[in-house]
Chain A
């Protein structure tokens, strides 16, 4: 009886968004009487950072401080339509809609400022600190608050904008089956090292090395947070979690946290992450979406590492000690480094 170490690798292309009859998101942006802006969305922030990243995108596009933007994601009854926060689509779809809405609102804000300064709106720039001034002449300036107030109280304009981003439905070619369901892919590669106990069948993840390509990381700390937490979920799905351990037999299905297995703080593996930034041509400021992709490479990498460690190929998740032990028994014992042995044998021939 022994402990066997194994390494597994996996890489993925992960499509951003989905294509069930088209994939739209909308955003509405308007200024308030205090010169600050509200972005209205129906997209939900579940802690992944939707509010923070759309706030940054709106501020950058409007040319105003982040502190002057409020993002309201509260209500799908009163907000503009959004397909939702899933499929890693939030930053890409909603971010693009916010850019379009903010550009329209910015144009009105600059027109209002132009009227106050008696100049042409095309000659105006924003400094990102709450001022609008004539290009090359910073002293000819007006605050964004004064411009928005003038628009509302003197000029009778709404400083507002509408935005939508749509990936239209891609029909399947009946001859070839070909389609273009998404415009944007994120990528990841992961190397996992595991240790398998051939007496108990237990698998522990010792180390994870990963590289994630996420377009531009619009908020690097939020990206890191998603990658760390998401990869943990991937490890959990690879080795612990299931609601149907003997599907389609319902027996031994967990009914509460006492029976539902997942790794705790004592089961963590060190995770070394490289974030690669290859800005997406159609992403908001080049952003794609880490989202679900954080978890995905972990599962096949762990399955490959188990195969490398004891020679058991498991294709049903999670990889429980029972499945590992049954596999070892079926093989007549642990067979470490199967792939290596086979390669050497082929070489010898």
Chain B
């Protein structure tokens, strides 16, 4: 398959790499760029483990073509920590919101978009925001708590 150059912003830095035309963004990020934070779960858009942020919106990277991100801004969980861990990551640790940790990068992405748009979400807002992300360990409760706690901390700060 023909390869195309793709230039995009990944977590604030400009990146360029070649991608086969049919390659999905998840494989491109993991194998082409070496960012292993988006996870391969189901490969068909039902588990949310591969969630990334493109131009401020959550996208399932397994269902997104790599060539489609030309010129766009992509954020992944590996870009959250900036010198120190992101408040969401801090809250996830504080509330024991990860067990095996496989869903965590996707959860963090969905949570970040929610809080960027809605600084004072209700519990129902949080549930809706993470309803596309499956978790098999925690029973979701600690994840919901962690996201609500981050919002509260930000309002106090």
B-contacting residues of A (Cβ < 8 Å)?
A: 46-48, 221-222, 224-225, 228-233, 256-258, 262, 264-266, 268, 271
Contacts and interface: CB of A to CB of B under 8 A. Distances in A.
Contacts of B130: 265
In the A-B complex, the 9 residue pairs with the smallest Cβ-Cβ separation, listed nearest first, are: A232-B139, A47-B99, A47-B100, A257-B46, A265-B140, A229-B139, A225-B96, A265-B127, A229-B138
A163 B95 CA distance: 34
B134 interface: yes
B96 A222 contact: yes
A262 B139 CA distance: 11
B96 A264 contact: no
B130 to A, nearest CB: 5
12 contacts: A47-B99, A225-B142, A232-B139, A256-B42, A256-B46, A257-B42, A257-B46, A264-B140, A265-B131, A265-B140, A268-B139, A271-B139
B101 interface: yes
Interface string B108-140: 000000000000000000111011001111111
Contact of B131 (A46, A257, A266): A266
A221 B145 CA distance: 14
A281 to B, nearest CB: 29
B44 A258 contact: yes
B99 A228 contact: no
Contacts of B135: 265
A106 B82 CA distance: 41
Contact of B140 (A48, A224, A225, A232): A232
Interface residues of B, number: 26
Contacts of B126: 265
B124 to A, nearest CB: 8
Contacts of A48: 99
Given A265-B131, A266-B127, A233 B139 contact: yes
A265 B134 CA distance: 8
Quick one: which of A47, A230, A271 has the most chain B CB within 10 A?
A47
A210 to B, nearest CB: 13
B122 to A, nearest CB: 13
Given A46-B100, A264-B131, A265-B127, A258 B141 contact: no
A224 B138 CA distance: 10
A223 B59 CA distance: 34
B88 interface: no
Quick one: which of A222, A225, A230, A268 has the most chain B CB within 10 A?
A225
Contacts of B42: 256-257
A49 to B, nearest CB: 8
B47 interface: yes
Quick one: which of A225, A265, A271 has the most chain B CB within 10 A?
A265
A47 B98 contact: yes
Interface in B27-48: 41-42, 44, 46-47
A47 B140 contact: no
A47 B139 CA distance: 13
A336 B127 CA distance: 32
B19 interface: no
B144 interface: yes
B67 interface: no
B143 interface: yes
B138 A228 contact: yes
A252 to B, nearest CB: 18
Nearest to A48: B99
A50 B96 CA distance: 15
Contacts of A258: 44, 46
